[in-house]
Amino acid sequence: MATFEAAGITLANPSTGVITTITNGPESWGEQIPVGRSDLFTGLALRSVDEANFQLWLDGDTDVFTRVRRFDRLLKPGGDEVVVEFGLDGMTAKEREAVIHAAWQAVVSDREDTIGFVLDRRGITEDVDWDGLVTGAGVRWDEWPDLLGVRPEVAARHVQLAQAVGRVEPPLTMFGTTLGT
């Protein structure tokens, strides 16, 4: 959160000061529930919840749907791997790039613990099993995301990635375009 807050993207709505989780059903889909900052992350830290959906805020009117979920294909026993996903729908190009830049800065600040990164501005690869890919499964796809980063050993063993030109940005090998901002 520190990286996002340094970029001006906040957990609390700047207009109301309220932090909200988003329900994911089945009784209610998309309902905003006020929550305390520490309560939001305590469940994931204590492993009592597998997923937390919440909003980050660019300003009082523009939110970023955010999902943090436990990684279902742990790389090592007892690992703490999580997937962080951001919904970029409905944003201007400038807003979207601000979120992407902040997400990349968060990756850079925790580089050694990062096992994968996918940037798909157009949402054309949302059905691809990226979890499987970053853990070494033989996942194939037709459309490439804007940017894909995986560990070098995964890239070397994967049929599509082994044939593609990537650039090493430790600890990942990156495929695709640069971030832009």
The alpha carbon of residue 22 and the mean position of all alpha carbons in its chain are separated, in whole angstroms, by 16
pLDDT confidence of residue 119: 95
pTM of the predicted structure, to 2 decimals: 0.87
Give yes or no for residue 53 having a pLDDT over 70.
yes
Please give the mean pLDDT across all residues of the chain. Answer: 89
Of the chain, the percentage scoring pLDDT greater than 70 comes to 91
Rounded Cα distance between 9 and 23, Å, is 21
pLDDT confidence of residue 78: 58
Cis peptide before 26 (omega within 30 of 0): yes
How far are the Cα atoms of 51, 109, 174 from residue 24, in angstroms, in the given order?
Answer: 10, 30, 32
Give yes or no for residue 73 having a pLDDT over 70.
no
